[in-house]
Chain A
Amino acid sequence: MTAPAKQKAVSTDQAKRALYLSHFTPSMMLPETLEAMLVQREPLLTRVFGNVLESLRTGSRHHTLLVGPRGIGKTHLISLLHHRLSQTQDSKDKALIAWMREEEWGVTSFFELIMRILRTLDATYPQYDIVKRTNPLYELKVDDAAIQAETLLLDVLADKCLVVLMENLDDLFDQIGDQGQKAWRAFIQNHGNTVLVCTTPSLFAGVSIQKSPFYGLFDIEPLVELEFEDVVSLLRKIAIERGDADLAAFIDTAEGRARIRAVHHLAEGNPRIYIIFAQFLNHEALDELVHAFMHTLDELTPYYQSRMKELPAQQRKIIEYLVTYRGAASVKQIASASFITQQVCSSQLGQLKDKRYVRSNKEGRGSFYELNEPLMRLCMDVKQQRGAPISLIVGLLRIWYRLEELQIWQIDPKRSQSLESLYLDHAIDGLIKHGDPKIEAIFRDLRRAIQSKNNDRVLDLRGELRAIGVVEPDNWIYVAIALKRLDTSDHIFSSVEVHELAYELSKLIRNQDLFFDDPINEQIAYFGVSFATYRLSTKHGLAVISSLWEEIVLHPAESEFSMMLLIRRYGRDPAFPGWFKHLIENATILGKRLRVFKGLELVLAALQSGDPTKLWAIPSEQRKLFAKYFLPNFDRSI
C-alpha cells in the first residue's frame, strides 16, 4: 500500500512478508529481520552485550534484568542479544549459552531449573551428550538428584561461563519459591561462573524486597515506550523490509507523519501494536489483521486477568475506569467515577503506580493517571465489548484513511465481506460523529511543544496540520499557546472543541506571521480563547479567568487592546456580559481593578443596553475613539 488514496495491487511476496512480520515472534525470526526492526534500543543492547562480554573476558559477572510491560520488546532484545553473542569468538570459546524460551512452566525448584538448563544446553551443544548423562539422575532420590544435577552442570561447564537468557523471571521466582531462589543464589555465589540476562514485565518482590535472596543482584534496565520519531523509524523499516518503497517514502511526508502521530497516541508507544498496525497498512489483509490481533489478545488475556485478580476491589474499579476512559484522568475525575474519596483514590493510585499498573504525568498543577500497559486496555476492552469491533482497529481505520476513502472502500463490490463492512461502518460513523483523531493527536503534541518552547517542532506540526487539510493552522497554534498559558489542565479538549476555539480566534487575530514575536497576538489569543472556552463550557471558562488577570497586570496596554477587539466582535453576544462580569468580579476580589477597564465597562454597558448616555463618564477624547472604532452606531449621538 502506498499513499492511501491509491489502491495498488499488493504482490504475493509483500503479503507474505507482511504476514510474517505481523505474527512477530522474535524468538523465531531471522536475526537479520530482528536487526532491521530495532529502533531506540541500540544503546541499551550495546550496553548489555558489552557487559556480558566483559563477564566472559574478566572475573566480573554482570547480571541484567530488563523490565517493561508486555509488547514492549523484551523478547526482541533477548533474541537479538543471543544472536550477537553467538557470533562472537569470546562466547564460542568461553561460554555456554542457555536461551530459555519464553515460558518455563513446571519448574518448581532449583533442581528442576538446573534440569531445564541442562536440557536447553543439550539442544544447542549436542557434543556434550547431556541428556544421556542426566538419565542416571532419574534413579535417585530428589535431594541426591539435585546435588548430582548441580555437579553435572559444573562438569559440563568446566572452565566456561554459563550465560542464561531467561524471560518472565517473576513467574519463575514465584514457582521455585524462597528456597529455590536461595539455592540458585548460592550456586551463583559459590561457583561464580554464571551470567544472567533476564526479563520481567514489572519489578517484583523477589528482586525489590530487601530480604529477598536476589535483592540488589541485578542491574535493572527499564524499557521505555517508543517516542514518536522511533515509531516513524520503525514503520519505515517495516515498509522497507516488506519491499514497499512507496509506503516508506509516504511515511516521511507531512501527511504520513500526521497519521502516524495519531496512531502513536492510540498505541501509547507499545511496539507490539505498531507491528500489528504495520500489517494493517495493506487493504487486502483487514480480516487477517483482525484474526492476528485476536490471536495476540487471546495469548495475553489470561495474564492480564490474573493480574486483575491480584488487586483489591477498589484498585480494580480504578483500573476498569481507566480502561474505558482512554487517556489520562485526574484524581478527582477517577475518584468521582469510582465513588471513592479523593484521598483514598490518591492512595490507591500511588499503590497502583508502584505496582506499575498505572503511570502519572504532571500537567499544570495536577497529576494525571493513565494505564501503563496499552495491551491490557485492549484485552479488557475486547472482553467488555463482547463481539463488537475491536476499538483499536476501528481507531486505525479512522486515522489512516479519509472519510471519502473509507466510503469508497465500503461500496467496493469486491470487498463486501461482512467483517470488513462492520469495521468500515464503525470507522465512518466515528469520523462523522467525533471528528478527525489526527487533529487531536497533533494538537496534543502542539501543546507539549509549546510547553517545552520547541519552535522547530511547532513549525513541523503546523506543516502536518496543513498536510491533513486544516485551513489556517496558525489559529491552532495560538489556541495551544493560550491554553498552555491559561492552564486549563482539568479539561482535555476534543478536536471538535479545539476547532471551534481556533475558528473563533481566526476572527480576532490578523497578523499571523508574527505569532511568536508579537505580544499583541498572544494577548488576543489569551482573551479570545478564554471567552471562547467560556462559551463552550462556563465551568472551564471561569477556571481560567484568574489566570487571565496575570496577563492583564503584566501587559495592561495589550490587554486593553485585546478587550476592545473582543467587545467589538462579541459585544452583542449573549454570553459576553456574563464572561466580562466574572472578569471584573475576579479583579475586584484580587484587588486588581484597573482604571482602564472602567472605560470598557461603560462601553459594554452602552452596547448592551443601547444607551449611549452611559459613555458620558469617559473623557471626551477617549469617548470619541471608542465611538469611532467600536460603536459606529452611536457616533452621531456622541
Chain B
Amino acid sequence: MKPNPGGILAPNEIIGRDQVVARLLATLVQQSVLITAERRSGKTHVLEKLKSDAPGSWAVIKRDIGAIRSAAEFAQYVVADLYPYFSPQANFRHWLNDMAAQLGGTKIGPVALPNFSAKDWKKTLEDAIAHLDELPNIEKAVFLWDEIPWMLEAITKNNPQEAMALLDCLRALRQTRPAKLRMVFTGSLGLHHIVRQLKDKGYNNSPVNDMLTIEIEPLSSTDAADLAQRLCEGSGLQPADTSTHAMLAATVDCMPYYIHHVVSSLLKTPNVVTKPLDASTIDAAITQAIHSADNLWDLQHYEERTKPYYGTQRGECLALLDAVASSHAPIPMAAVIQRAKAAYPTVIQQDWIELTRMLERDHYFKRTPTGEVSFKFTVVKRWWIWHRNLAPVANAMGSGK
C-alpha cells in the first residue's frame, strides 16, 4: 500500500473504519445521519466504505453535490441517480419520458431528463421519491450527499428562500418516507454555518433535528499503527524497532491523512529508505510539516477560525488556548481559567466556563474524566506553541517541562 495523502483510496486501503461504518449502517436502519468531522479526516472514504458495505437490499447513491447551484439542478441529479434502479417498464421511467416529451430536456448519462426549470422542483422531488414505492425489492434508498453545505451556500447566495425551502422539503421527504428513505449529509463546511446564515434571514426551522449527528474520529491506536505499518512496508521503509509504527501513528493523533502524509514526506527525504526508520527521523518529518509555511496540514486554520467562531470573545479564547498549550500535562480547569484571567480580569467565571465548553465542542480541547483539560490533538498543540512562540509554564503539579 502506497501513501496517498489527499487522493482516492481503493476500497481495501480504507483502514480502521469498520466500526464507524457499522455504526452508521445500524443508525440508518432507524434514521438519517449528519456526519461531522474536521477537514481531511476521511469522511469521503467513510461514505465509500458505507456504500460498499451496505446490505444488498439497499440502494445507496453517493454524489458530491458541492457544485450544484439551484434546487432545480439538485432535483435533476436526484432523478438521474434514481433512474438506474427502475426497470424500463416501471412507472418512473414512463413518468420521466412523458415529461421530457412535454418540456424538452437534456441527457445526463443514459437518462433523458425534462427541463426542470420549467417545473416546480419541489413537486419533481416529491414525485421522484414517491416512485420508490415501485421498488419493493429495495428495502432502503440511501442518498449520501457529500458537500451539501457548499450547494446550500451557493443557493443561499442567489435565493435564500430556495435554500430554506429545499432544506424543509428534504426534511418533509424523510418524514413522509420514514421506513424507506434515508439521507446522509456531510461536507467540508459545517451545515450549522449555513443554517445560521438562513436564520439571520428569517428562517425559523430546525431542518436536521431528525438526523443523528455522528462524528468521524481519528483511527484507534491499533488501526492507526496498522495503517502506518502497511504504508511503510509498501514503501520499503523498515522500522528500527517494533514500536516505530505505533509511535508514528500516535505522534500524529492517529489521523489517517497525517499518517499518509508523513510516510509520503519520508519517501521524499534523501537516503531514508537505505536505513531503518527511527523515532528521530519520523519526528523530524512531522516537525517539518508542522512548521511548513505551506500549511499543508491545515493547522493555521485552527487560529484563523477563532475569529468567525468566537467574534468579540476571540481574545479570551486565545488566552485559554495559550494557557492550555503552555502546560506540558493536562491541567485543571481552574488553573486554565486563572492563567487566562490574568489577561482578561473582568470576565466573569461563568463566561470562562462557557468559552471552555465551546473550545471543547470545536475540537480544540478534550477533558479527562477528572476534568483536566488538554489539547485534543497533539499536532495542533505543537503547532500552536511554535506559531505563538509560547514558553512552557509550571502547572500546579510543578512540572514545567
Which segment of A20-28, A181-189, A414-422, A602-610 sits at the interface?
A: A181-189
B9 within 8 Å of A by Cβ? yes
Is A511 an interface position by the 8 A CB rule?
no
How many residues on the A side are at the interface (Cβ–Cβ under 8 A)? Answer: 43
Cross-chain contact B257 with A216 (CB below 8 angstroms): yes
A63 contacts B by Cβ under 8 Å: yes
Min CB–CB distance A348 → chain B (angstroms):
15
Residues facing B in A170-192 (CB within 8 A) are: 179, 182-183, 185-186, 188-190, 192
Residue in chain B with minimal CB distance to A213 = B66
* CB proximity of A208 to chain B, nearest CB, Å: 6
Cβ proximity bits A20-60 to B, threshold 8 Å, 1 near / 0 not: 00000000000000000000000110010011001100111
Inter-chain contact A60/B4, CB cutoff 8 Å: yes
A160 interface residue (CB < 8 Å to B): no
Q: Which of A179, A188, A354 contacts B154 (CB 8 A)?
A: A179
Interface pair B63/A190, CB less than 8 Å apart = yes
Cα–Cα distance between A211 and B190 once the two chains are bound (Å): 11
Of B107, B268, B270, B293, the residue contacting A221 (CB under 8 A) is B268
| CB pair A179 B4 closer than 8 Å | no
A219 touches B264 (CB 8 A): yes
- Is the C-beta of B241 less than 8 angstroms from some C-beta in chain A? no
Q: Please name all residues of chain B whose beta carbon is closer than 8 Å to the beta carbon of A496 when the two chains form the complex.
A: none
In the bound complex, residues from chain A placing their C-beta under 8 Å from that of B66 are 182, 185-186, 213
Query: Chain B residues with Cβ under 8 A from A354's Cβ?
Result: 293
CA distance A236 to B185 in the complex (A): 59
Given known A47-B267, A182-B66, A189-B44, contact A219–B4 (CB-CB < 8 A): yes
Interface presence of A62 (CB below 8 A)? yes
* Segment touching B, from A143-151, A483-491, A527-535, A541-549: A143-151
Which B298-345 residues sit within 8 Å CB-CB of chain A? 298, 300-301, 304
Taking a contact as CB atoms under 8 Å apart, the answer to whether A62 and B296 are in contact is no
What mask results when residues 331 to 372 of chain A are scored 1 for a CB within 8 Å of chain B, else 0? 000000000000000000000011000000000000000000
CB contact between A211 and one of B11, B12, B64, B189 (< 8 Å): that residue: B189
- B2 and A51 within 8 A (CB): yes
B122, CB-defined interface residue at 8 Å: no
A148/B107 contact (C-beta < 8 A), A59-B10, A189-B44, A211-B189 known = yes
Q: How far is the CA of A216 from the CA of B5 in the complex (A)?
A: 8
A61 CB within 8 Å of chain B: yes
Question: Is A596 among interface residues, defined by CB-CB distance under 8 A?
Answer: no
Which listed residue (A51, A54, A189, A216) contacts B39, Cβ 8 A?
A216
- Complex contact A62–B298 (CB within 8 A): no
Question: Is the CB of A203 closer than 8 A to any CB of chain B?
Answer: yes
A58 close to B10 (CB less than 8 A): yes
Task: Give the distance in Å from the alpha carbon of A59 to the alpha carbon of B13 in the complex.
Answer: 9
Expressed in whole angstroms, the minimum distance between the Cβ of B193 and any Cβ of chain A is 11
A147's partner among B108, B146, B189, B293 (CB-CB below 8 A) is B108
Say whether A210 contacts B301, CB under 8 Å: yes
Select which of A43, A54, A144, A183 is within 8 A of B106 by beta carbon.
Answer: A144
Q: CB-CB < 8 A to A188: which residues of B? A: 8
Judged by a CB distance under 8 angstroms, whether B55 is at the interface is no
Q: How many residues of B contact A (CB 8 A)?
A: 45
Determine the distance from Cα of A208 to Cα of B39 in the docked complex, in whole angstroms.
Answer: 13
Asked if B133 CB lies within 8 Å of chain A CBs, one says no
Instruction: Point out the residues of chain A lying under 8 angstroms from B39, CB to CB.
Output: 210, 215-216
Which residues of chain A come closer than 8 Å to B12, judged between CB atoms? Answer: 59
Contacts of B150 in A (CB 8 A): 182, 213
B64 touches A62 (CB 8 A): no
**Contact B268–A151 (Cβ < 8 Å):** no
Q: Is the CB of A215 within 8 A of B298?
A: yes
Given the complex, which residues of A lie within 8 Å of B64, measured CB to CB? 185-186, 189-190
CB distance A217 to B7 under 8 Å?
A: yes
At the interface, yes or no: A293 with Cβ under 8 Å from chain B?
no
Closest Cβ of chain B: how far from A257's Cβ, in Å?
Answer: 22
Judging by beta carbons under 8 Å apart, are A208 and B109 in contact? no
Does A493 have its Cβ within 8 Å of any Cβ on chain B?
no
Contact pick for B188, options A55, A60, A211, CB 8 Å:
A211
Report the minimal beta-carbon distance from B196 to chain A, rounded to whole angstroms. Answer: 16
Chain A 201-213 near chain B by CB (<8 Å), digits 1 or 0: 0010000101101
Contact at A63–B188, with CB atoms within 8 Å?
no
A598 to B148, CA, bound (A): 83
A220 at the interface (CB under 8 A from B): yes
Contact, CB under 8 Å: A179 / B67: yes
Most-contacted residue by chain A among B5, B67, B296 (CB, 10 A): B67
Please state if A151 and B296 are interface contacts (CB–CB under 8 Å): no
Q: How far is the CA of A365 from the CA of B128 in the complex (A)?
A: 70
Contact A151 B10 (CB under 8 A): no
CB-CB under 8 A from A218, the residues of chain B are 6
Give A51 to B40 CA distance when docked, in angstroms.
20
A59 and B11 contact, CB distance less than 8 A: yes
Judging by beta carbons under 8 Å apart, are B298 and A216 in contact? yes
Residues from 243 to 265 in B contacting A, C-beta threshold 8 Å? 257, 264
Give A57-78 as 1s and 0s: 1 = Cβ < 8 Å from B's Cβ atoms: 0111111000000000000000
B67-110 CB contacts (< 8 Å) to partner A: 67, 69, 106-109
How far is A203 from B293 in the complex, measured between Cα atoms in Å? 10
CA distance A442 to B188 in the complex (A): 52
Residue of A nearest to B302 (CB): A210
How distant is the Cα of A140 from the Cα of B8 in the complex, in angstroms? 33
A188 to B188, CA, bound (A): 16
* Contact between chains at B7 and A208 (CB < 8 Å): no
| Known A-B contacts A189-B146, A190-B64, A216-B298; A151 and B107 likewise in contact (beta carbons under 8 Å) | yes
Report the bound CA distance from A60 to B3 in whole Å: 10
Residues of A410-446 at the interface with B, using a CB-CB cut-off of 8 Å, are none
Q: Decide if A467 is an interface residue (CB 8 Å cutoff).
A: no
Closest CB of chain A to B351's CB: distance in Å? Answer: 28
Contact present for A60 and B106 (CB under 8 Å): no
Chain B residues numbered 352-368 whose CB sits less than 8 Å from any CB in chain A: none
- Contact A353–B40 (Cβ < 8 Å): no
Contacting pair A217 B6 (CB below 8 A): yes
Give Cα distance in the complex from A188 to B67, angstroms: 12
Nearest Cβ in chain A — how far from B231, in angstroms?
12
Query: Are A182 and B67 closer than 8 Å at their CB atoms?
Result: yes
Of the candidates B7, B63, B293, the one having the most CB atoms from chain A within 10 angstroms of its own CB is B7
Q: Once the chains are docked, how many angstroms separate the CA of A208 from the CA of B296?
A: 7
Known pairs A154-B109, A210-B39, A216-B6 / 7 extra A-B pairs, C-beta < 8 Å: A59-B10, A60-B4, A61-B8, A62-B4, A183-B67, A190-B63, A354-B293
Subset of 17 A-B contacts with CB under 8 Å: A50-B2, A54-B2, A60-B2, A60-B13, A62-B2, A147-B106, A185-B67, A186-B67, A190-B63, A190-B64, A208-B296, A210-B301, A215-B40, A219-B264, A220-B294, A221-B268, A354-B293
What residues make up the interface of B, taking CB atoms closer than 8 Å to A? Answer: 2-13, 39-40, 44, 62-67, 69, 106-109, 146-147, 150, 154, 188-189, 257, 264, 267-268, 270, 293-296, 298, 300-301, 304
- Give 9 closest A-B pairs by Cβ, nearest first: A59-B10, A183-B67, A61-B8, A182-B67, A189-B64, A186-B64, A210-B301, A144-B106, A60-B10
